Amino acid sequence: MSDHEYLNYIEYKEELVNNLGGTDFPVVHIAFGINNAYARGMGITIFSVLENNPELAFHIHVFGGSLDGKSKSLLLELAVDKPLAITCYVFKESAFSDLPLMGRYPQAIYYRLYTPYILADVTSRFIYLDADTLCLGSYKELNEMDISSYTLAAVNDTQRARNRLCSQLGLTNNNYFNSGFLYINIPQWIAKNTTERVIKTLSCNEDEFKFPDQDALNIVLENEVLLLPKKYNFVCDIILNKVGKKVGIPEDTILIHYTGKCKPWHIWGMGELADIYDRYYAQSPWQAVPHDMPVSYKEMKRYAQALWHKGRYAASLRWMTKYMNNKIFRKSPL
């Protein structure tokens, strides 16, 4: 399918802001695939990118559902005195109707598969980021990197993930990259019909994949990916780290990726990993937006433990009481 045919999947395109006209800085293109619920996470990611890359300009491409007025207003604040452009692309509801539904995963998993075709007239390469990431360093070196011989560049997932998934998916190189950060070479992606190959792989394995699009990307691109150092996608799971446990984050880390169900904007994720995120959160346009509060009893327990570790004993005991009540009487979802 041509890029022009994929453009027909877009309901409308909206340029929120474009301050790139007078800049002499190299322009780096970054794409996100989100709905409005993840606009805050995406916004803080963008804020952290801008803070750590004063010698680069950025064009942000937001793919997915429509954003509400508040989200757009806060995104516009990012562009004040910054070499930044933000363009939103809203897909038609029918765009994915013929594609397989992948268990509990929304059709949003297909957003990044279509993005290279839609951006083909804009740039030859772009960074795809999940909205649960935080930039700590410069993309200057990455922007100057030659990936012309590869379909994309990515970073290996954790050893734990590779041990579990490589044999399960039949990957022979013992590599399994995490798709929360992808540096995509558009001409190569299109020339090799990557989107069609990934969708075909998904269609043939609908019930077998734990991480559908990520698993399919790894199968299809096993021999077409340039593996980058871990600093470009340092994967961590807040919940896997016990409250108070020190996390060794290398000094050269460029991107932290908060995988798992607990995100850094969840108040019960308190700890060293969340503290790093909160320093950016508190300076961003989203600073007045409160963290999400616990709903399930497991979240309440984690929050009570985190409060105790912080020395907030009275608050900890209140939340431990809520945890006990909700666990016994199941007044909240698991």
- Check residue 242 and give its pLDDT: 65
Mean pLDDT throughout 148-169? 92
- Check residue 318 and give its pLDDT: 94
Percent of the chain with pLDDT over 90: 64
Residues 185 and 321 grouped into a single domain: no
Q: Round the average pLDDT of the chain to a whole number and report it.
A: 90
Residue 176's CB: how many other CB atoms inside 10 A? 26
| pTM of full prediction above 0.85 | yes
Residue 333: pLDDT over 60: no
Residues 228 and 315 grouped into a single domain: no
Q: Which tokens belong to 291?
A: 């963290």
Residues 228 and 302 grouped into a single domain: no
Q: What is the CATH number of the domain that holds 163?
A: 3.90.550.10
Residues 223 and 304 grouped into a single domain: no
For residue 297, the enclosing domain spans: 293-334
Residues 12 and 108 grouped into a single domain: yes
218: CB partners within 8 A, 6+ apart:
165, 169, 171, 175, 176, 177
Q: How far apart are CA 237 and CA 203, in angstroms?
A: 29
Residues 213 and 302 grouped into a single domain: no
- Check residue 65 and give its pLDDT: 85
- Among the listed residues 136, 106, 139, the one whose alpha carbon sits nearest the alpha carbon of residue 33: 106
What is the β-pairing status of strands 177-185 and 152-156?
Answer: antiparallel
| Number of domains into which the chain is organized | 2
- Check residue 241 and give its pLDDT: 64
Mean pLDDT throughout 106-123? 86
Please check whether residue 136 lies inside any domain of the structure. Answer: yes
Residue 331: pLDDT over 60: no
Mean pLDDT throughout 154-173? 90
pLDDT digits (tens, 9 = 90+) for 207-242: 678 788 899 999 999 999 999 999 999 998 887 766
Per DSSP, the three-state class of 166 is helix
- Check residue 102 and give its pLDDT: 58
Residue 100: pLDDT over 80: no
- Check residue 329 and give its pLDDT: 76
What radius of gyration do the chain's Cα atoms show? 20
Residues 12 and 88 grouped into a single domain: yes
Q: What are phi and psi of 23, to 5 degrees?
A: -90, 145
Mean pLDDT throughout 125-151? 97
Please check whether residue 67 lies inside any domain of the structure. Answer: yes
- Among the listed residues 133, 185, 126, 177, the one whose alpha carbon sits nearest the alpha carbon of residue 156: 177
Q: How far apart are CA 282 and CA 125, in angstroms?
A: 32
Mean pLDDT throughout 63-67? 90
Mean pLDDT throughout 33-59? 96
Residue 105 — pLDDT band, cuts 50, 70, 90?
low
Mean pLDDT throughout 114-139? 96
Residue 322: pLDDT over 70: yes
Residue 300 — pLDDT band, cuts 50, 70, 90?
very high
Residue 309: pLDDT over 70: yes
Residues 205 and 135 grouped into a single domain: yes
Residue 256 — pLDDT band, cuts 50, 70, 90?
very high
Q: Which of 98-107, 125-134, 193-202 has the highest mean pLDDT?
A: 125-134
Residue 310 — pLDDT band, cuts 50, 70, 90?
confident
Residues 206 and 332 grouped into a single domain: no
Please check whether residue 113 lies inside any domain of the structure. Answer: yes
Residue 261's CB: how many other CB atoms inside 10 A? 12
Residue 36: pLDDT over 70: yes
Residue 27: pLDDT over 80: yes
Residue 106 — pLDDT band, cuts 50, 70, 90?
low
